Structure 1
Amino acid sequence: MSTTETNLILPTAADVRAAAGRLRGNANATPVMHSRTLDERVGARVYLKCENFQRGGAFKFRGAFNAVSRLSDEERARGVLTYSSGNHAQAVALTGRLLGVKTVVVMPEDAPGPKIEGTRGYGAEVVLYDRAGRSREEIAAELQRERGMTLIPPYDHPDVIAGQGTAALEMIAETGALDVVMTPCGGGGLLSGTALAVKSAAPGCRVVGVEPEWADDATRSFRTGELHTVHNPPTISDGLRTPSLGRYTLPLVMQNVDEMRTVSESDIVEAMRFLWTRMKLVVEPSGAVPVAALLADPGAFAGKRVGIVISGGNVDLASACELFARGA
């Protein structure tokens, strides 16, 4: 797959602004938090957009609601299908409950228990699968053929991408101009949408995506210009275990993102520890990844105003306590 496809219509900053209108009054306007201790440690002024306080516990609600709300009445009547390790699953399930749409979600058996329970709690039918067997995409395609439902994938969808970018729009509206904005990167939906928003609202701002070292497919794709993949990477950041960037997210990342970074598993745990203990923020491993990049390279953005999208806080408490006890 090349970085451009002539027949592909990519979302734009205008789509992000339109999504913000649909989400107004439906999504939470999440807080932007600040820590003087964090500023001192990294030599920058850092703002955290806390999507762990979003409906469903993660930024994913923004993209899911934007996408489902744009479906026709006939499409809504057929129901919505998706696949996800947890946050998009809960977001689609919650959106379905709010809009009266039946939802079916394909989830891995080893997804965090609270995410599976949350998805069911919002009313979705959960179809579990073994990661070592068939892929979630294959199972979803089979269900789509059988049931005629509309597929809303977790990241590679124009309306999902546009919805995710609204978090950065809100952050910049509150903080004013920023020099750098950082987000986690799995399939690239949040990073792509953020880049669209930032390049429109703050053209001089750099956009940086961050991945775990063990799931660095997007970083390799960014640096080579060719699509790279991973298969079930063993990172603790379950939300970033996606196999690759997508048809939409790859060209958007290549066009609008300025830099990609990676962090170790121990870096992620230490960032979680800082956020939990110093800022009293319950953040899941995936959400802590960009903070991990700051703490691991504290002089990288010295003197800059840095915005970070904390992607979510849906964490298995027992697993988190184990991580803190043993380090990574």
Structure 2
Amino acid sequence: MENNIEIKNEVLQKDIDIKKEKKFSQWREMWYMIKQNKAALVGMVIIVILLLLAILGRIIEPYDPNVGQLSESLQAPSTLHWFGTDEQGRDILSRIIDGTKISLRVGITAVAFALTIGIVMGSIAGYYGGKIDMIVMRVMDIILAFPSLLLAIAFMSALGRGIDKAIIAISIVTIPEYARIVRSSILSVKESEYIQAARVIGNTDRAIIFKHILPNVISPIVVRATLGISSAILDTAALGFLGLGVQPPTAEWGSMLGSGRGYFFNAPHIVVFPGIAITITVLAFNLFGDGLRDALDPKLRN
């Protein structure tokens, strides 16, 4: 009897070890594919640098980003102010560094919120189908019928200005993208043999969705979420440019563009450097997202 128990334990342990090794090999293969993709590697390095700037911002900023001297306004880039100063004499480099945490916070938080809601709604619609699917998808279609930025502006007008309101507005307008991806992924696998086997042995619908279906369709969701961060950052900058996002004197790249556009011909550096920061950040997430898609796609790996 004891020998049988020991044998079962050994078999169980071997099975656990095999699964761990398989999962580790998958992560190692994905990392190898990303390293082979130079563009994705560059994007990942830039993202890491941006995260460090967001974390260490106030430590490495040469000046207070929200305090300036009018006597030093509109100064061109120099050894004292590498990116020059704005119309209120504030150091642009310090404000760009300080604005990094705002853009990343809004982008990551908005995508996380939209992804959570989208996974739940897409899973319900794709798994149960019928009237539930029709109702959920028609609501998503109504949201998609409006331009995302225009709808975000409408929500901001209703909710008010501020970073928290911007996160909510951007999240709501991007929920349909994730819901549709999750729904289509679930429809493609929900009639598979392993799903039917899970039903036969008595797994609940919740367990089937979150333990058996979603882990096997997570790749396109992760890729879209990575690319979605760049879109959220662009929307944040657009709302800030229109004066609906982060309010002064808080530094945010879009609001820096909005406040400096009147000085473009006299002091172009006021809008050039924030614009470059937005471009590099969006490009980094797009490059990394494309590389992540290639690494997670079995067909492309082969």
TM class, shorter-length: under 0.3
The structure richer in helix per residue is 2
TM-score with structure 2 length normalisation? Answer: 0.25
Q: Structure 1 length normalisation: TM-score?
A: 0.23
* Bigger relative CO (Cα 8 Å, ≥ 6 apart): 2
Name which one, 1 or 2, has greater alpha-carbon Rg.
2
Larger strand proportion, structure 1 or 2? Answer: 1
